[in-house]
Amino acid sequence: MISESRHPMTGNEMSPEARGGMERHAYDVVVIGAGGAGLRAAIAAHEAGARTAVVCKSLLGKAHTVMAEGGAAAALGNRWPEDSWKVHFRDTMRGGKMLNNWRMAQLHAQEAPDRVLELEDWGALFDRTEDGLISQRDFGGHKYARLAHVGDRTGLELIRTLQQRTVQLGIDVYMECTVTEVLKDGGRVAGAFGYWRETGRFVTFEAPSVILATGGIGKSYKVTSNSWEYTGDGHALALRAGATLINMEFVQFHPTGMVWPPSVKGLLVTESVRGDGGILRNSEGKRFMFDYIPDFFRSETADTEEEADRWYDDKLNNRRPPELLPRDEVARAINSEIKAGRGSPHGGIFLDIASRRDADYIRKRLPSMYHQFKELADVDITAEPMEIGPTCHYVMGGVEVDPDTQQSAVPGLYAAGEVSGGMHGSNRLGGNSLSDLLVFGKRAGEDAAAYATTGDRPTVDEADLKAAQASALAPFEVEGGENPYTIQHDLQQSMNDLVGIIRTAPELEESLGELERLKERADRMVVEGHRQYNPGWHLALDLRNMLLVSECIAKAALARQESRGGHTRDDFPGPDPEWGAKNLVLSIDADGTGVEIAEKPLPVMPDDLQQLFEDK
């Protein structure tokens, strides 16, 4: 059983200083976040010999990675021997409208197969081909069937495998513990400061390397597939620590989220539904995607229903159905159909697989979708179409990092997974997220472990700790203000309305004004009760991060005067080659309450890779 000196929740040994004063722990590498990227980073750091800890807001194994459904993209070539990292690289760059950091896209395409095979060594059970190899499925934007998958619960398989590996290696995990500050010693990282959600007590981690693996920002939007944890913590921590963010204007709206009932609005409906034969229809019964094929993808997209339907069985001689265009294209098309009044009764459009595949096939390939609609909406997807609409799903933007090491501008501060930026350019392809987590999680973990052994250990400044504590407790000090739930609600509404799929300059300006007002309201918010497991207080602290990140999105969206990938401006409808050559870089302003924006040219792709785009 658990001994007295162990934490009851985690079983971790607590340091002697914990009694009375603040709990302190010393590590080489501290990973913030226990999703796919965080756990993969922790495993890599541990295997590189570093004393490693994972700190996460939820219980181990609950992170948002479990929600990933479709699969992990990796050019294993199990279905199509023609597939290779070069094709995957090309698909990724084209999906991101060439705004990706080419080096990250290259490393990702090259290393994803190894990272997936490694999971199998650790006990993952992927679906198999007839030859017993890992099966691979079709997804939007991928030329070949490339997604290693387990039914439609691949994320669960991935996180469970990594979780079990983490526990097996004996890595310390601090569960239900939120980090509120990255601590520094001069210009470099010195550790992290946070609190136990359970007790409200503070805890300090002293470590030369801190890896951010906190995921995305979706909770700033009203209609989102993201869970409460997605409050942009890592983005905000990085900004406040002095690192920079890029590509924040690019927010991916997944084309297919549930629209009814209201309590699950936004909940993800996997792209596999379309990969396995599902099609989109409007209220007139029209398969409308054929009207929305952009020139950029015209040569590789079917223009008749007959050709599209043949493609599922004969991929060599037919072009892809337009339902499998990259997500940004499909989301915009759905948005237009709904706006034109051709939507479904609950304000979505129809996603139909019932009339296209038999019931057994659907239940076998899409078990959790079947379950989800049956239980939550009373809809049998083997008998009737689903009603779906776009939902905020993923942020392409994130911490600007070195592509090989994932280190940010701050020495010792790393970012991996959704919280890092650059890999996906202006739009992420489905399936590239799970492989991104694995590839760059490992790279970040290895380099963080190596960095931790260089030079002398940094020391934490006691004054910084005092300030961090005061800041965390501030919401208890105020009287007479608003509760954080109201402010969060207003923020989500305003981001949804003003910084959504289709954007215009006046609306973006309005949103920035609204954000300023929300910030003022947040300064005066109050929380009731005490520090022990108090969700109101937790939200109050997360809300600061949400506000800061929302400002980044709105500012960058206003600055980028073109439409590209996950960023669509009604007043600048097309892509602009000049904008296609630069990133927008955000940093914290001088008084630490707002953000500043700057332009920066994209790194130039070497000729041999450039060649891949000219051949065809």
Partner 1 sequence: MAYDLKMRVWRGDADGGELTDYTVEVSEGEVVLDALHRLQATQTGDLAIRWNCKAGKCGSCSAEVNGRPRLMCMTRLSDFEPSETITVTPMRTFPVIRDLVTDVSFNYEKARELPYAELGPRDADGKRRMMQVDVERGQEFRKCIECYLCQDVCHVVRDHEDNKQHFAGPRFFIRYAELDMHPLDTHDRRKLAQDAAGLGMCNITKCCTEVCPEGIHITDNAIIPMKERVVDRKYDPLVWLGNKIGLRNKDNDGRAEV
| Dist CA 368 CA 372 (whole Å) | 6
| Dist CA 247 CA 398 (whole Å) | 7
Q: How many residues does the structure list for the chain?
A: 616
Smallest separation (angstroms) from partner 1 to the CB of 434: 15
Element (H, E) at 161: helix 154-169
Smallest separation (angstroms) from partner 1 to the CB of 407: 30
- Residue 585 makes contact with partner 1 by CB under 8 A: no
Residue choice 336, 405, 469, 483 for contact with partner 1 (CB under 8 A): 483
Between residues 528 and 615, which has the closer beta carbon with respect to partner 1?
A: 528
Q: Which amino acid is at 475?
A: P
Smallest separation (angstroms) from partner 1 to the CB of 23: 17
- Per CB under 8 A, which region of 332-340, 353-361, 408-416, 522-530 contacts partner 1? 522-530
Active-site residue numbers? 254, 274
- Residue 496 makes contact with partner 1 by CB under 8 A: no
Residue choice 83, 91, 111, 229 for contact with partner 1 (CB under 8 A): 229
Integer CA distances (angstroms), 306 to 312, 318, 474, in order:
11, 10, 63
Closest residue by Cα to residue 33 from 235, 172, 221, 178: 178
Smallest separation (angstroms) from partner 1 to the CB of 385: 18
Q: Taking a C-beta distance cutoff of 8 angstroms, is the pair 371, 383 a contact?
A: no
DSSP strands (E only) in 135-294: 136-137, 147-148, 172-174, 177-185, 188-196, 202-206, 209-212, 245-246, 251-258, 279-281
Among positive and negative, which fits the CA dihedral 72, 76, 78, 80? positive
| Dist CA 559 CA 597 (whole Å) | 9
- Residue 121 makes contact with partner 1 by CB under 8 A: yes
Angle between helices 85-95 and 607-614 (to 10 degrees): 80
Smallest separation (angstroms) from partner 1 to the CB of 263: 4
Residue choice 527, 557, 584, 597 for contact with partner 1 (CB under 8 A): 527
- Residue 60 makes contact with partner 1 by CB under 8 A: yes
Binding-residue total with partner 1 (CB under 8 A): 71
- Per CB under 8 A, which region of 27-35, 54-62, 91-99, 454-462 contacts partner 1? 54-62
- Residue 363 makes contact with partner 1 by CB under 8 A: no
- Residue 359 makes contact with partner 1 by CB under 8 A: no
| Dist CA 142 CA 109 (whole Å) | 12
- Residue 8 makes contact with partner 1 by CB under 8 A: yes
Residue choice 61, 70, 140, 500 for contact with partner 1 (CB under 8 A): 61
Q: Which two tokens stand for residue 496?
A: 């949804």
- Per CB under 8 A, which region of 273-281, 364-372, 466-474, 516-524 contacts partner 1? 364-372
- The interface with partner 1 within residues 421-440 (CB under 8 A) comprises none
Residue choice 1, 316, 590, 604 for contact with partner 1 (CB under 8 A): 1
- Residue 5 makes contact with partner 1 by CB under 8 A: no
Contact mark string toward partner 1, 208..227, x via CB under 8 A: -------------------x
- The interface with partner 1 within residues 365-384 (CB under 8 A) comprises 368, 371-372, 375-377
| Dist CA 212 CA 189 (whole Å) | 12
Between residues 260 and 579, which has the closer beta carbon with respect to partner 1?
A: 260
Between residues 375 and 571, which has the closer beta carbon with respect to partner 1?
A: 375
Between residues 384 and 509, which has the closer beta carbon with respect to partner 1?
A: 384
- Residue 51 makes contact with partner 1 by CB under 8 A: no
- The interface with partner 1 within residues 231-260 (CB under 8 A) comprises 260
Q: Taking a C-beta distance cutoff of 8 angstroms, is the pair 419, 436 a contact?
A: no
- What is the edge-to-edge ordering of all strands in the sheet holding 52-55? 172-174, 52-55, 29-32, 209-212, 413-415
Q: Taking a C-beta distance cutoff of 8 angstroms, is the pair 558, 565 a contact?
A: no
- Residue 165 makes contact with partner 1 by CB under 8 A: yes
- The interface with partner 1 within residues 129-158 (CB under 8 A) comprises 131-134, 150-151, 153, 156-157
DSSP conformational letter for 290: G
- Residue 64 makes contact with partner 1 by CB under 8 A: yes
- Residue 533 makes contact with partner 1 by CB under 8 A: yes
Residue choice 47, 127, 300, 510 for contact with partner 1 (CB under 8 A): 127
Element (H, E) at 114: helix 102-121
| Dist CA 529 CA 170 (whole Å) | 36
Smallest separation (angstroms) from partner 1 to the CB of 72: 15
- The interface with partner 1 within residues 262-291 (CB under 8 A) comprises 262-264, 267-268
Smallest separation (angstroms) from partner 1 to the CB of 204: 22
- Residue 164 makes contact with partner 1 by CB under 8 A: yes
Smallest separation (angstroms) from partner 1 to the CB of 177: 13
Between residues 302 and 487, which has the closer beta carbon with respect to partner 1?
A: 487
Q: Taking a C-beta distance cutoff of 8 angstroms, is the pair 553, 217 a contact?
A: yes
List all residues 6 or more positions away from 448 whose beta carbon is below 8 Å from its beta carbon.
29, 41, 45, 50, 209, 210, 211, 407, 412, 414
Residue choice 477, 528, 578, 614 for contact with partner 1 (CB under 8 A): 528
Closest residue by Cα to residue 159 from 124, 189, 194, 187: 124
